[in-house]
Chains A and B, each alone.
Chain A
């Protein structure tokens, strides 16, 4: 836990530095390819534990949310009002109860919760229902069920609303 906390400032700096250039697409490591031990360097583990696991290939990694509850997040900066679209590749058991949450403004209030259906590595596309105002946004991955859940990819497309 100590080592993870040391990483948070660096990650946040990197995320904020890059976010303005990509207009809201998750800027840091959407494929969980940058690892600090068993923790994805671009994400902050707030609760529970995670570990690095192989996905389709022993050299292509995903993050397994171990046990429950597990909470990890990443902060980004949105440049424009955005309708968020999440594209994930994940292996999620039915009883894992995993969701993606949006904390617009990073004020500790979850503004949007998008539950993940069970999946077996097929791509999932999930839409948030609200428009998010420009400014800081925290994406939160939360697992509350006992089932297994491994995320291999998470892209947040925030290019605009239909």
Chain B
């Protein structure tokens, strides 16, 4: 993309000014100096941002398209100098609603043109598509018609960003039909004078979503680039071709190891004029993260709350970098060689926070999870459960009644502690130690010529068992319904206590358990779960030959503490 072919950023109507709020001294000699950037808009800018998770016929729902659209719209306002009321966001619109929104914007563009203003339009779509058009639920919007509608609006500059393909056989893909050249077709159809089109993939590829990023790969990296990571010439602006180039390489690298295959974003533009088409102005943002010139690392930036990946940047030495971010608390994981440093960051409003790798804490390499792993759950979890149980009667218990014992407590509560190791997103194994059964009995007996005493008899059963858990990850594994079964060793202990001493006996035998439950993890490392289980450990018996059935039905609730495993 040559500089000559670039159209002047947002076409002409920008008043030049120096409004950098950044103070050079704040960066230090090693950090990028704040560039001069142009002032706010005097142009008429409009954006129609559409996200649709709804599937069409034969398609699966998308998880993040609507969220991607909202993030894109927010970024236009935050860094793109779009007035909030000039950004229209549609969530899962129907065909008529989308066209009506285009008409509304068209009316505003027409009014601006009549007033002699230059006009720009950004159209962003994230959702399903088929070879010939966008899938808006059960309705389709033909790409040819969309092209006509957009070009008929008469904006001086139109930028179309399409993060869409036809749904494929894979759940996380927005894939295109194998015979269709969706991206190429769409680019060709929309590629007219004054129009630039970025598509998320070529026609034979799948556009993929990432649960880890909670976004599509393409939109995620496009947004990271627009926040400043793509500002290759460090002029404080992210131009269209810079954003594309960044998104292209980042998406390519991120999807190279995924099961659905590599994804190549495409850019076609037919623009006249000079200068860059600036998409965003990160240098003018009030809150920034400044990556130092000498820093060389793979930088994974995560929000401290919730752990969402905000940015992944391959930072090379010798090139400073500014990334505009919302104020807040973050954690930057710097991977250098086989070492990973964790750097807590607090980005305050109207401040530029340096990141040079100092003041960080060395962590295990696994703390920085590779993005190729498409899940959000931790590998290990400790579960502690407690709850009521219900046990049926058996001959062993009936025998105690025959011999004059009365139950007086200790029964009715279940306690369990388990260590869960996640093998696959849908499969886990766990080792659980629990006490499914306990009871205590007493009776009065004669102990002398005119004296009596109390005898007590109690038992408890502990089970150490290995379980296999099949689970269905939902909501990025925050919600995890499961069924599980396990077998193991049952250990029964009885204690007979009389006035002249106590006798303790131990029993060992086979134990089995079936359970179903659901885990809810509002945080990555802490959550709760509820479980209904049937446990049986028929290990305790008496001299007569009665075996305590040991079968209980348990309704338990508990806490789940999750950590990342050492792999």
Contacts and interface: CB of A to CB of B under 8 A. Distances in A.
Interface of A: 10-11, 13-14, 17-18, 28-31, 33-34, 41-42, 54-60, 89, 120-123, 152-153
Contacts of A123: 402
B372 interface: no
A153 B449 contact: no
A42 B446 CA distance: 9
Contacts of B447: 33-34
Contacts of B543: 54-58
Interface of B: 399-400, 402-404, 443, 445-450, 455, 457, 494, 496, 498, 503, 542-544, 546
Contacts of A122: 402
Contacts of B443: 31
B446 A153 contact: no
Nearest to A121: B544
Contact of B403 (A10, A18, A153): A153
A57 B457 contact: yes
Contact of A89 (B403, B449, B450, B498): B403
B449 A56 contact: no
A121 B449 contact: no
B544 A56 contact: yes
Contacts of B445: 29, 31, 33-34
Nearest to B546: A56
Contact of B399 (A10, A14, A121): A121
A153 B447 CA distance: 15
In the complex, which of the residues A10, A14, A34, A56 has the most CB atoms of chain B within 10 Å of its own CB atom?
A: A56
A148 B542 CA distance: 20
Contacts of B496: 57-60
B503 A56 contact: no
A152 B503 contact: no
A33 B450 CA distance: 13
Nearest to B443: A31
B397 to A, nearest CB: 12
Contacts of A13: 449
Contact of A31 (B399, B403, B546): B403
Given A58-B543, A121-B399, 20 more contacts: A13-B449, A31-B445, A31-B446, A34-B445, A34-B446, A34-B447, A55-B403, A56-B399, A56-B400, A56-B403, A56-B546, A57-B503, A57-B543, A59-B496, A59-B498, A60-B403, A89-B403, A120-B544, A121-B402, A152-B403
A162 to B, nearest CB: 24
A142 to B, nearest CB: 23
Contact of B450 (A17, A31, A55, A120): A17
A11 B449 CA distance: 7
A4 to B, nearest CB: 15
Contacts of A33: 445-447, 455
21 contacts: A11-B449, A28-B446, A29-B446, A31-B403, A31-B404, A31-B443, A33-B445, A33-B446, A34-B447, A54-B543, A56-B399, A56-B400, A56-B403, A56-B542, A56-B544, A57-B457, A57-B496, A57-B503, A58-B543, A59-B503, A89-B402
Contacts of B448: 34
Nearest to A60: B403
A89 B401 CA distance: 11
A118 to B, nearest CB: 15
Contacts of B450: 14, 17-18
B324 to A, nearest CB: 77
A-B CB proximity, top 4 nearest: A29-B446, A33-B445, A14-B449, A56-B542
A28 B403 CA distance: 16
B240 to A, nearest CB: 86
A8 to B, nearest CB: 12
Nearest to B401: A123
A10 B543 CA distance: 33
A122 B455 CA distance: 21
B447 to A, nearest CB: 6
Contacts of A31: 403-404, 443, 445-446
A28 B544 CA distance: 25
A152 B455 CA distance: 15
A31 B444 CA distance: 10
A10 B449 contact: yes
A54 B543 CA distance: 8
A152 B496 CA distance: 17
A72 to B, nearest CB: 16
Contacts of B503: 57-59
Contacts of A11: 449
B14 to A, nearest CB: 94
B151 to A, nearest CB: 93
Contacts of B404: 31, 153
Nearest to A28: B446
Contacts of B446: 28-31, 33-34, 42
A55 B544 contact: yes
A6 to B, nearest CB: 13
A122 B395 CA distance: 10
Contacts of A60: 403, 455, 496
Nearest to A11: B449
B542 A57 contact: yes
A13 B443 CA distance: 25
A28 B445 CA distance: 9
Contacts of B400: 56
A3 B400 CA distance: 33
A147 to B, nearest CB: 18
A28 to B, nearest CB: 6
Nearest to A87: B402
A122 B399 CA distance: 8
